[in-house]
Structure 1
Amino acid sequence: MVQTIPHGSWKSPITSDLIVSSSIRLGAARLDGPDIYWSELRPTEGGNQRIVRYGPEDPLGSVTEITPASVNVRTRVHEYGGGAYVIHQGTVYFSNFADQRLYCQRAGEDPFAITPAVTPAAGLRYADMVVDAARERLICVVEDHRQSGEAINAIATVPLSGGLPKVIVSGNDFYSSPRLSPDGTALAWITWNHPQMPWDGTELWLAEITEDGSLSHPRHLVGNTKESVCQPKWSPAGTLHFISDATGWWNLYRWEGERGEPLFPMEAEFAGPQWSFGQSSYGFVDNRHILCTYQYQGETKLAELNTLARSMDEIAVPYSGIGSLQVGRGYAVFLGASTDRPSALVRLNLETAQITEVRRSSSLEIDPGYLSKPTVISFPTTGGFNAYGIYYPPQNKDFEASVTERPPLLVKTHGGPTASASSALNPSIQYWTSRGFAVLDVNYGGSSGYGRAYRNRLQKRWGIVDVDDAVNGALYLVEQGKADRDRLAIDGGSAGGYTTLATLTFRDVFKAGASYYGVSDMSSLAAETHKFESRYLDSLVGPYPAEKSVYEARSPINAVDQLSCPIIFFQGSEDRIVPPNQAETMVNALKQKGIPVAYLLFEGEQHGFRKAENIKRALDAELSFYAQIFSFELADNIEPVDIAGIDSWTK
């Protein structure tokens, strides 16, 4: 029998314990002949990332542990990493997080370092490796922190037998995606310079490889400060392909003669922003057919492109999100996420279209009666534009609220800010909806997936466009009768944390919020952050310190007098992207003003939480925070969060 209970007080089986105890984070799928490899981030193992393998003879559901629990396969190049390992004939080469050295892992043996220790520790970092078997070496991106000042990035080689890296391409600020031609005679790569980010403007280069392994006749093919090029790959026949947004959309191209030739122009995104190394959204079935994934009108599609006929056929798969696509002989592998099932590593038979889920990210089996079904929505926003979001209504088969009660709304702002929200099943969102909250996951102006013009809406207007879109999304749902105007909350992490803090400071719409390692002081971020993002704010805000007054005007820390609602802060003690002082300065200011504030600092965590106990605590603490602020009873027996100033606030 369905009980009538106020929103927020519904009892849900989707608990924080359930979420963290049965979940892993799948990533970085790779193929080695018929064997499938991928990474698993395991919160219950302290957030370590392991490499595992599944072979065609293995029972479904079983995996072979490749790297031991004593290592953490993760690189710190660009701080966001990616591309931390590569496989060749059963041997894995990887970066170990603790010392950032490269290691070799052979089947049945212990891993051993192939790059020497350097001073300072972790002074050399490696990513995005490819194996140059003919020359017995790795080709990779190297980031050198051994000197004072800004790190130096380059493309280098490392002998498989061990040794220091030898730089073969240098001179620019950033490099990625070194890709060796099938015959080993040419190398392609991506490069860019400050103040561009890789989604703003990059260049594709090509060089010949000489007999001694050095490069000759390097030349710039395509790309500039207004064109983003990514994911260079070689076809089996040795034709260079890449993705470019020269038309305003990331589309597939190939290098034909002396020009880049578009293969199937359309208003869709065949790539996403290159925040991390090793991203892959297409692969070669053969010389004429490309398996690819793309985003179209807010949905992710899988298709096969015939490059001879210039036709594309969609492949029906039950996934709303597809990533890390790899194509082998007669099959493909990708990470698939759907709206009602946990993400999985999926094997697709290219002949029969049969789908096999090799590994699921979670053993969660959630009754559909507790799952909210997402809807992609568009709503009017400032300047006559439309913005986008994914709306989740409250859903719990055991409970309902009074017909006169509107639900509290939690607006979520993704990071980046050049990222995007997905409709794939996210148990952390269902945690809220199954307790009676509505959720709006906003794809504000600046988000990817809607073309370059939509991304560029945020240029020079970070803290304005994103804030307006978050506010207008919430008010749109209020007008539709789907949210309570007096119980609007907002949360976000990293750049989304900034949007959260800016919205709470400069607008009087939301009644509470949660900042996860969010930016409160733009000037400090510009002065203190790491190399990869050190000039990012040039495009989002303006050059620093020339536009220092703009930075100060848009920094929540400088406008605490405008802030009048409670906030909870979550922060990692070792965060080098947004240091803890960004949160702590804000917390102290709120305490002095007498506004309820809570602060949880997690020791050993960095930019994003990886340990199960911290993920659990943060989720429950945010719920406890809203329960105290909005005055509803919790059905859960969770540890209450300590809120400074709550007593005087609620009197």
Structure 2
Amino acid sequence: MQTSAYGSWATPITADLVVAGAVRVLGAHADGDAVVWAERRPGEGGRTQLVRRDADGTCTDLLPEGHNARTAVHEYGGGDWWVRDGVLWYANWEDQRLYRLADGEPVPLTPEPERPRADRFADGDVHGDVLVAVRERHTGDEVRNEVVRLAAHRPAEPEVLVSGPDFVAAPRFSPDGGALAWVSWQHPSMPWDDTVLTVRDLRSGEDTVVAGGPGESVAEPRWTPDGRLYFLSDRTGWWNLYRWSPGGEVEPVVVLDAEIGMPAWQLGSARYVPLPDGRIVFARWSGGYDGLAVAEPGGPVTDFGLPFSAIDSVRPDGDGVLVVAGTPTEEPGVHRVSATGEVQTLRAPRDPGFDPAYVSVPEPISFPSGDRVAHGLFYAPANPEFTAPEGERPPLLVVIHGGPTAQAVPVLSLGVQYWTSRGFAVVDVNYGGSSGFGRAYREQLRDAWGVVDVDDCLAAAAHLAGQGRVDGRKLLIRGGSAGGFTTLAALAREDTPFAAGTDLFGVADLEVLARDTHKFESRYLDRLIGPYPAARDVYVERSPISHVDSFRRPLLVLQGAEDQVVPPNQSELIVEALRARDVPVAYVLFEGEQHGFRRAENIRRALRAELDFYSQILGFPLPPGEGGEITLSGGTRQEPLR
């Protein structure tokens, strides 16, 4: 073993390897004996390719060059494609039109809109020759979200079935095609706040509200062949499973102190499957870890005991289910799970090609934060070839997930191992407001964004430093989107314990964001901060840009040039303000990127810039060939490390 300072350890987990690992499986559907899944490929400009695996194991890319199965509905997408009887339907990123692919070339089903990309489609379902989908139509300053019906096999003008609600999702045909279920919600609610599940008799036009309303989030309606409708609801404080029969009452099916559902940041989620024999296979979050379980009809719930710790989707596949799932030591793959829990891997996780001893396995931790308890995942440094000088403790990288209604996910991420294998400790914080811990925990952030999240991140760092697991003088913080806001808010404190921070497309000015963002999140801040402009004083007080005089620590800002969720002006505001005050700052703008980095060259550049930044701040040497990525401007106001 070699002895070297934390942060300087040589590792096979390079930026190039992280880029290779960024090929991500995004969902899978069974179609007869075949399975189709989506892969996001940074090496192809970040496009999403669809892959079919036939029964003999042969895998075939389905989309021709220039096609990218990705919708811009809600800007976050999801529900980008679906498949039935060998026919594929998908939204194409370039023009956002809906395409059909069977034999030959893709055929557009929807007309070309008056303005490019003005009509966007997602989250569809097919019955016979008819297709329904969510359409998001942009006309001038207005954005309308509707459920539309159109021919499934030929180009046609869509017919509007559902309009009026601010948002709609998950339109699903009943087995006989005579009824349609969908979810809707109104501003200022988000889909994890208050939604409504409605069923329409397509013959009579009569609507029936099945569930939902103030204080209840419903999601994922799914019909069974006998005409019953299953759905998720958090009416007990946890997203659990319920069932409704036309003309009957709603009855609970699976009720646990665990989350079967997830926040609907993206459309097309799938967390449970009713099996033909009446059993239900479902995923559930508990204690910061995901898992797969089965419920007997009217009987007990049994955990399968599989190693999966994060499950992206659960979909039907004969008498079993198809899952996209990963573990703390393996990236997500595509697996078939039988009703008895036997696993067949169809698309294996990529072999990263390095010794497993380089992998840091996350440890769930809970820690006090004021009068509350917060949670996180702690990753200790791991490298079989290096140790630090005696008496040294590792620097800590506090990672803040986006959302803020999202969560830290305990699945192998080379983006995390890039740091731990170099000698960093990492804590991924599930601050109050995160999902996976029930509605009450999620609502801790109501009217408290910029307070509870910051407090919990500070508490996580203090907890680990107090235990002697990290060096309290070498605390770093980083986050993207909402996590970028928390990063800036934590650095904009006179008493900040952090030596530096990295803001990835984060929010600097809440008031500007309230006036300039996309429809899906345009009223999100009503619940997180307060109604605007009535609560304008709070917006100003909570905004990091209002506290630039308190900034003393260096900042790296990474931003996508085409970001519509958090526009580049947010990054430019904070960078210009800090430069004017001579605070050390570096800014990298990535052309061709939206909200998050998808292109191989940009993922690579962002990682190298961040490593170079930390080496300059903490003073550890970099291996040969690394460094020289960024230049910090300013610096006279930086205080020395404590």
1:118 equivalent in structure 2: 113
Q: In the alignment, is residue 228 of structure 1 matched against residue 217 of structure 2?
A: yes
Measure how far apart 1:262 and its partner are: 1.1
Q: In the alignment, is residue 177 of structure 1 matched against residue 170 of structure 2?
A: yes
Which of 537, 541, 548 lines up with 1:560 in the alignment?
548
The letter for the 2-side match of 1:193 is Q
The letter for the 1-side match of 2:115 is P
Contact 2:582 2:633 in 1 (8 A): yes
Q: In the alignment, is residue 28 of structure 1 matched against residue 27 of structure 2?
A: yes
Measure how far apart 1:236 and its partner are: 2.3
2:587 equivalent in structure 1: 599
Contact 1:236 1:287 in 2 (8 A): no
* 1:37-186 correspondence to structure 2 within 5 Å: 37-58=36-57, 62-107=58-103, 109-133=104-128, 136-145=129-138, 147-160=139-152, 161-186=154-179
CA distance in 1, matches of 2:501, 2:325: 31
Measure how far apart 1:329 and its partner are: 1.1
Which of 465, 468, 473 lines up with 1:478 in the alignment?
465
CA distance in 2, matches of 1:182, 1:365: 46
* 1:525-544 correspondence to structure 2 within 5 Å: 525-544=513-532
Q: Cα deviations across residues 577-631 of structure 1 (Å, max 9, x unaligned)?
A: 1111110111111111111111110001000000011001101110100000111
The letter for the 1-side match of 2:560 is G
Contact 1:138 1:157 in 2 (8 A): yes
Q: In the alignment, is residue 618 of structure 1 matched against residue 613 of structure 2?
A: no
Measure how far apart 1:23 and its partner are: 4.0
Q: TM-score, normalised by structure 1?
A: 0.96
Q: Which runs of 5+ in 1 are unaligned?
A: none
Measure how far apart 1:19 and its partner are: 1.6
Q: Using a 3 Å threshold, how does the CA distance of structure 1 residues 583 and 155 change in structure 2: closer, same or farther? A: same
Q: Cα deviations across residues 378-422 of structure 1 (Å, max 9, x unaligned)?
A: 00002x110000000111111111231111000000000000001
CA distance in 2, matches of 1:541, 1:596: 29
The letter for the 2-side match of 1:45 is E
CA distance in 2, matches of 1:22, 1:472: 32
Q: In the alignment, is residue 189 of structure 1 matched against residue 182 of structure 2?
A: yes
Which of 255, 263, 266 lines up with 2:256 in the alignment?
266
2:486 equivalent in structure 1: 499
Q: Using a 3 Å threshold, how does the CA distance of structure 1 residues 636 and 232 change in structure 2: closer, same or farther? A: farther
Measure how far apart 1:363 and its partner are: 3.6
CA distance in 2, matches of 1:22, 1:385: 37
Contact 1:264 1:310 in 2 (8 A): no
Q: In the alignment, is residue 469 of structure 1 matched against residue 469 of structure 2?
A: no
* 1:399-548 correspondence to structure 2 within 5 Å: 399-506=386-493, 507-548=495-536
Q: In the alignment, is residue 368 of structure 1 matched against residue 364 of structure 2?
A: no
Contact 2:586 2:633 in 1 (8 A): no
Which of 292, 310, 315 lines up with 1:326 in the alignment?
315
Q: Using a 3 Å threshold, how does the CA distance of structure 1 residues 650 and 230 change in structure 2: closer, same or farther? A: closer
2:336 equivalent in structure 1: 347
The letter for the 2-side match of 1:556 is P
Measure how far apart 1:148 and its partner are: 2.1
In structure 1, the residue corresponding to 2:462 is in which secondary structure? Answer: helix
Q: Cα deviations across residues 95-139 of structure 1 (Å, max 9, x unaligned)?
A: 0011100111113x1112111111111111111010121xx2210
Contact 2:10 2:623 in 1 (8 A): yes
In structure 2, the residue corresponding to 1:263 is in which secondary structure? Answer: strand
CA distance in 2, matches of 1:173, 1:361: 39
In structure 2, the residue corresponding to 1:144 is in which secondary structure? Answer: strand
CA distance in 2, matches of 1:69, 1:381: 51
In structure 1, the residue corresponding to 2:282 is in which secondary structure? Answer: strand
In structure 1, the residue corresponding to 2:209 is in which secondary structure? Answer: strand
Q: Which runs of 5+ in 2 are unaligned?
A: none
Q: Using a 3 Å threshold, how does the CA distance of structure 1 residues 284 and 55 change in structure 2: closer, same or farther? A: farther
Q: TM-score, normalised by structure 2?
A: 0.97
Contact 2:330 2:349 in 1 (8 A): no
In structure 1, the residue corresponding to 2:88 is in which secondary structure? Answer: strand
In structure 2, the residue corresponding to 1:378 is in which secondary structure? Answer: strand
* 1:201-220 correspondence to structure 2 within 5 Å: 201-210=194-203, 216-220=205-209
Q: In the alignment, is residue 288 of structure 1 matched against residue 284 of structure 2?
A: no
Measure how far apart 1:310 and its partner are: 2.6
Contact 1:23 1:362 in 2 (8 A): no
Q: Cα deviations across residues 48-85 of structure 1 (Å, max 9, x unaligned)?
A: 10111112222xxx411111131011101101011111
Q: Cα deviations across residues 21-66 of structure 1 (Å, max 9, x unaligned)?
A: 35411012112122111111000000010111112222xxx41111
CA distance in 2, matches of 1:475, 1:354: 43
In structure 1, the residue corresponding to 2:244 is in which secondary structure? Answer: strand
The letter for the 1-side match of 2:3 is T
The letter for the 2-side match of 1:159 is A
CA distance in 2, matches of 1:84, 1:217: 29
The letter for the 2-side match of 1:125 is R
CA distance in 1, matches of 2:342, 2:38: 24
CA distance in 1, matches of 2:372, 2:500: 27
CA distance in 2, matches of 1:287, 1:503: 52
The letter for the 2-side match of 1:74 is R
2:623 equivalent in structure 1: 635
Measure how far apart 1:366 and its partner are: 2.8
The letter for the 2-side match of 1:149 is D
Aligned residues: 636
CA distance in 2, matches of 1:502, 1:609: 23
Measure how far apart 1:643 and its partner are: 2.6
Contact 1:26 1:361 in 2 (8 A): no
Q: Using a 3 Å threshold, how does the CA distance of structure 1 residues 300 and 344 change in structure 2: closer, same or farther? A: same
The letter for the 1-side match of 2:215 is K
Measure how far apart 1:531 and its partner are: 0.4
2:240 equivalent in structure 1: 251
Contact 2:46 2:598 in 1 (8 A): yes
CA distance in 2, matches of 1:636, 1:260: 64
Measure how far apart 1:304 and its partner are: 1.1
Measure how far apart 1:225 and its partner are: 2.2
Measure how far apart 1:639 and its partner are: 4.3
Which of 324, 330, 347 lines up with 1:335 in the alignment?
324
Measure how far apart 1:636 and its partner are: 4.8
CA distance in 1, matches of 2:629, 2:545: 23
Measure how far apart 1:361 and its partner are: 4.9
CA distance in 2, matches of 1:100, 1:636: 45
CA distance in 1, matches of 2:210, 2:319: 32
Q: Using a 3 Å threshold, how does the CA distance of structure 1 residues 599 and 77 change in structure 2: closer, same or farther? A: same
In structure 2, the residue corresponding to 1:179 is in which secondary structure? Answer: strand
The letter for the 2-side match of 1:154 is E
Identity %: 44
